[in-house]
Each structure stands twice: as structure tokens, then as C-alpha cells.
Structure 1
């Protein structure tokens, strides 16, 4: 089921042509800005799903825009990729009511003024500290979210959270030494999604299987059926990275396009 894109602040009608600021050129907003990557071959009129992506620590939005694993994956899937810039190249994610939540809401509203996204799916994602900001944005109830994609960054249970995405997917490497793999009590390998099990109203683990992103990296995937939709967690043996094809594969699943 697709959840209609809407914002907690306001949505402006699509009244002007596509933004002139794409790729490495920043769209200025407030005291910072964001970056956009339009899908190749877009006709300038057709409605676009949106992927709002929060970059890792020390980076800015142009990095994931140019990455084939994030911006490139969105491009191939026909998704508008939007990457805000964090102040000081970082994010305010530790407490509810983050100052970055209204900024991200304003980014979506500004994108809605420039592009035909109203009524289209919203995917929110993040890598490393950006994954924590993506989770904070979802928990603060910043928007109705079709899918939340969290890469190598997880909150511990007990944080304030009111948002309820329709789908949450998390991926983490067991040899991560930047944001350590979050084992739970008695070595539980699904601690990274404990908050989402509760938030989405998930039952017992429903499925577990392996699939390969690349020849050398096998991922152990676990899935839960939940009141709010679907929860998945992928575990791999590599370190602090975005597994090749992980975002692309999840976009195919979310948008029901051929894999």
C-alpha cells in the first residue's frame, strides 16, 4: 500500500518548472540548502516519487547525490533524489524536536514548489549519522513516510518516537567499527530494529533468508509483518558502508518495479 506524500507544515502546488539547482549546485534555503538529482530522461511533467536522503557525518548533500549507490540508484528507479545539507556537516538527531526536522520539512515543501511530487511516495533514507537523522525525522512525525531506509546507524530502544512509517528497512555490518553493530541482550542481532518492532506493531519474525548484493557479500535478511506494514533487517559481514545494490533493490521492492 502506498502512503500519500504529505508534509506536517504545508505543501505548495507545483507551479514553476523544474529547479535550476541540480547535482553539485546547491538549492539555497534558510541558512543552508539542499541538492537534487532528477532521474535521467524525466519529461519535466510526470509525477515523481521522492527519496529524501541524509548524508553521513562530515559530508554534504552533493556526495550522496553523485554516489551510484544512492543518487544513482534513485535515478535508475525514476525517483527524485533530494539531499539536504547538515549544519556543520552534521545533524541534530539526539533528542525529540530536532532543529533539523523543520528544516527537512521546509526542504520537502520547497521541492514540492519546484517538482510535481504531491500524492507520490516518499522514501526517507540516511547513511551513518544520516541514518540517525532519518530515524529522528521519522520519529518526530515530520511526514507520512512510505519507506524508511536506514544504513549503518541505529537508535537504541527507549527514544521518543511518534512517527510510524509504512515500511522500515535497516542494514548493518557486523564488523562495523565506526558505528558498531548493535547487538542486544544475549547477543540478539536484531537490536537495531527493536524500536521499530514496537513502533510498527510487529509480530514474531516471519521470514529469514539470504540474498547476494555482490558476489563477495552475502546478506542475512530477516522480515517481520507488522500492523503498519513491513520491517526488514539485513546483516552482512562487511564494515561501515552502503552495500552495493542495497538501495536499488529496496527501491524496486517499494515501488513494485522489476528487480
Structure 2
């Protein structure tokens, strides 16, 4: 009888602990009211040093859990000492069509909640997104640019005529010429650089220059265009490739290294 009692007492904590007592992280989401987000901590964090943060807005019908488990997102933040935040959209779709979507307030609440749980380096808050999430990232950066150290977006934009009175400090964007899901917004004469016209105007950039030609993946050539003659030390880069709608391997890591001044 005594052995049975000890066995039950040994198992009890594992089964009796309420869900609210669990620490969120990884696949276990953090809750804000009826909304949630996921966290992925970097490798070898000492538990004390303030963390740079990258908040990534997921694609249509995805969620924050997808972000922290994605082989081309979390794999780039973990070795760079960056905490990855993946907020989840209501009904798995961001509301970015209007100028001031309610999801901007939700993203604010996410960052505030993260700062309550972990020491955050407020000078290194980076925003990224893919597809519909890229468009949401553009909206957030337009509204809260004064707190965004860098914007990194893939295969998604908002109308280039959008007014952006509070732009972020730096912008990096990549888009495929053959993207059929969120087409690259070409300008007059099929000008592909129109994809970042909003930021070039907001930063009052001069003439852009082609920095390099490279393969974004096997058989998919890309061209890197840079505007580094903008006001207040701001810079815009655009990678245009011949492919479609995808997250390029290693692209986010390259941009983080550039923004963070890493080799």
C-alpha cells in the first residue's frame, strides 16, 4: 500500500499542474486575452543579457507555431542571439488592407508582453513577414517605425502610394518576378524597383545601384539593388529574383547580419 501511495504522489505533479502554470515557449503559446503568440529563444542565452527581438508575421492560414518551427526562419535567429516572436492572426489572416488595422495594437501588446517576460533590447526590434505577413509587417512598420530597427519582408507589399509618416530605420525586401500569389508591384515600363517605391520616397533616397547578381537558389538568379544615399543614414535594399512565392534560404540571416553589423 505504501509503495502504491508513493507511486501516485510521484506522478501527481505531472498530471495535476494546470495549463495556466505552464511556461510558454516553443510550441506552447503565450496568451494575451483570446489571442496568442509563440516564442523561440536563441542558443546559449545567459538568461540575463537583453535580447534583440525579431517579430515575424506569418503567411495566410498559418500561425505563430509555424513561424518558430520554420526551417528558414527560426534557424536564422537562434544562432544570432535573437529571440523570435511569432504572433498569430485571428482566423489565421492579418487585417492589413486598411490604413490602421487592429492588428497593429495586437502587435504592440505582444511586444509589451514579451518585455514583461524577458529582458529586451529595445534598440534592436526587427520586424519581418512573408506573403500576407509581409504586408502586415509593412503596415506595422509604417505605424511604429520609430521603434523598428529594421524591416525584412518577403513576397508581399502594400500599395506603394500609401502614406508612411513614421517609417522604420532600415528596409530589406525580396520578391519574385513570377510571384502569382502576391505579384511584385511593377512601375512604369515594368520597373521592378517600384516594389520599394514607398520606402524610397519616405527615406528621400537618391539613385539606386545594382550591388550584385547571385543565385537565390539553384537555377533562380537574383539581383541585389541598393539605395544607400537616403536621409539620416537610412538604407533600402531590394532582391529581385526570377522565381515565385517562397522564403529564400538564408536570406533572413543575411539581412540580420547586415542590420546588426555582424560579419
Task: Name the TM-score, length of structure 2 as normaliser.
Answer: 0.87
Structure 1: gaps spanning 5 or more residues: 1-18
> CA RMSD of the aligned region, Å?
1.5
* Higher helix fraction (1 or 2): 2
Give the CA deviation at 1:159.
1.6
The answer to whether the aligner puts 1:237 opposite 2:242 as a matched pair is yes
Q: Give the match for residue 96 of structure 2.
A: 93
Picking from 223, 231, 238, the partner of 1:227 is 231
Picking from 61, 77, 81, the partner of 1:74 is 77
| C-alpha distance after superposition, 1:4-55 (max 9, x if no partner) | xxxxxxxxxxxxxxx9211111100122110000002211111110001100
Inter-partner Cα distance in structure 2 for 1:45 and 1:219: 40
Q: How many residues align?
A: 240
Moved over 6 A (4+): none
Structure 2: gaps spanning 5 or more residues: 1-21
Inter-partner Cα distance in structure 1 for 2:210 and 2:169: 18
Q: Give the match for residue 168 of structure 2.
A: 165
Q: Give the match for residue 56 of structure 1.
A: 59
Q: Give the match for residue 193 of structure 1.
A: 196
Q: Give the match for residue 258 of structure 2.
A: 253
SS across alignment from 2:244: coil
| C-alpha distance after superposition, 1:192-234 (max 9, x if no partner) | 1010111111111144322344443332000002114110000
The answer to whether the aligner puts 1:154 opposite 2:147 as a matched pair is no
Inter-partner Cα distance in structure 1 for 2:47 and 2:106: 26
C-alpha change, 1:57 and 1:143, in structure 2 (3 Å) is: farther
SS across alignment from 1:197: helix
Larger Rg: 2
Task: Name the TM-score, length of structure 1 as normaliser.
Answer: 0.88
Inter-partner Cα distance in structure 2 for 1:244 and 1:217: 12
| C-alpha distance after superposition, 1:121-169 (max 9, x if no partner) | 0110000000000000011226511110110001222223222111101
